[in-house]
């Protein structure tokens, strides 16, 4: 084997930036949004692909052909990859990237021989003025992050595989127990916590991300739905949702806000839900899944921080 890397990179934008660094090795582009919709543990299996194709077609009008071309072919490339002696994962700090990263590790561990793993992830390094996602770094700073990549131990990879398995399971409470685990994944605990808070609040029926969006409407002067989208993307914390994902969130919340006289305002229902005066669980209930769990089969209790099964 030559001393080269297999680079697994989340998304096309970051891939372009990494390619500009002209690093030796082969690149695999991970194009998925596994933080939404149903997932089964065996990445790339027939069941997995059928589940994902159905969800992505219904939620985002992504065709089966598009999915095959942009994601499944990359899995095939990953299985066929050779002549490298270590793997470098390029994934951001947020939930979107971390769920993809866990799936990538799980797929690799199932199909490839053991080699050293390294992680390039967002963090503030010495000499950098602020915390920025990898995709916002200059070429110089991105290369600096690569030089300071984190070596992942065997126990780190085992934790990643376990968290992916639990994410694909139907008991989020088991996943919550992993928050206290220490590992070289600096943001994993925060991402698990963010995921757990995506289940409907036991008092209101909306989740933490949805509440944050409605609080923005309450506290900001927002003149259009497009401006609301911008605010929601900017202040979403650990979720890392894309434009299209956040648009889907806003669509779900339309009973809680309206646009009147060039201002986005809360409806009476919006005021009621923010003030915990009414529970909108039944009105919002749908068949959405997060990993292996149906969203509305569970409630998140913000007082005890527990997930309750219905």
Q: How many CB atoms lie within 10 A of CB 215?
A: 13
DSSP for residue 201? B
Asked whether the CA dihedral 101, 104, 108, 109 is positive or negative, the reply is positive
Distance CA 106, CA 89 (A): 13
Residues 131, 137, 140, CA angle at the centre, nearest 5°? 120
165-221 pLDDT, tens digit each? 999 999 999 998 899 899 999 999 999 999 999 999 999 999 999 999 999 999 999
- CATH 3.40.1360.10 boundaries in the chain: 5-195
- CATH 1.10.10.10 boundaries in the chain: 200-309
CATH number of 5-195: 3.40.1360.10
Distance CA 302, CA 1 (A): 52
122-181 pLDDT, tens digit each? 776 565 556 678 988 889 989 999 999 999 999 999 999 999 999 999 999 999 889 989
For residues 246 and 233, is the Cβ–Cβ distance under 8 A?
yes
CATH 1.10.10.10 fits 200-309, yes or no: yes
Give the CA count within 13 Å in the CB-facing half-sphere of 177: 5
Q: Which two tokens stand for residue 148?
A: 């300071």
C-alpha 154 chain-centroid distance? 23
pTM over 0.85: yes
Q: Which residues face 301 on adjacent strands? A: 306
Rounded to the nearest 10 degrees, what angle do helices 243-252 and 208-219 cross at? 80
33-61 pLDDT, tens digit each? 999 999 999 999 999 999 999 999 999 99
Distance CA 73, CA 152 (A): 26
Q: How many CB atoms lie within 10 A of CB 127?
A: 8
Q: Which two tokens stand for residue 292?
A: 């292996």
């Amino acid at each position: 084997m030559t001393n080269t890397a297999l680079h697994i990179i989340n998304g096309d934008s970051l891939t372009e930036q990494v390619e500009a660094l002209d690093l030796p090795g082969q690149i695999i582009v991970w194009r998925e949004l596994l933080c939404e919709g149903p997932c089964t543990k065996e990445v790339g299996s027939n069941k997995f692909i059928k589940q994902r194709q159905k969800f992505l077609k219904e939620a985002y009008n992504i065709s089966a052909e598009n999915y095959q071309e942009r994601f499944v072919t990359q899995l095939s490339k990953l299985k066929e990859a050779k002549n490298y002696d270590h793997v470098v994962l390029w994934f951001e700090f947020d939930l979107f990237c971390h769920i993809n990263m866990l799936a990538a590790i799980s797929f690799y561990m199932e199909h490839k021989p053991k080699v050293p793993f390294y992680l390039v992830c967002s963090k503030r390094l010495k000499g950098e003025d602020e915390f920025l996602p990898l995709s916002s770094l200059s070429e110089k700073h991105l290369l600096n992050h690569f030089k300071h990549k984190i070596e992942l131990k065997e126990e780190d990879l085992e934790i990643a595989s376990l968290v992916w398995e639990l994410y694909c399971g139907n008991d989020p409470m088991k996943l919550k127990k992993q928050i206290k685990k220490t590992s070289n994944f600096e943001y994993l605990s925060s991402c698990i916590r963010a995921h757990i808070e995506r289940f409907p609040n036991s008092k209101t029926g909306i989740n933490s991300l949805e509440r944050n969006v409605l609080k923005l409407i309450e506290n900001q002067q927002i003149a259009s739905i497009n401006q609301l989208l911008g605010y929601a993307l900017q202040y979403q914390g650990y979720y890392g949702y894309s434009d299209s994902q956040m648009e889907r969130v806003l669509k779900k919340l339309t009973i809680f806000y309206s646009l009147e006289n060039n201002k986005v305002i809360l409806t009476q229902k919006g005021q009621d839900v923010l003030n915990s005066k009414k529970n909108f669980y039944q009105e919002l209930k749908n068949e959405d899944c997060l990993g292996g769990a149906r969203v509305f089969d569970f409630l998140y209790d913000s007082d005890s921080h527990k997930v309750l099964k219905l």
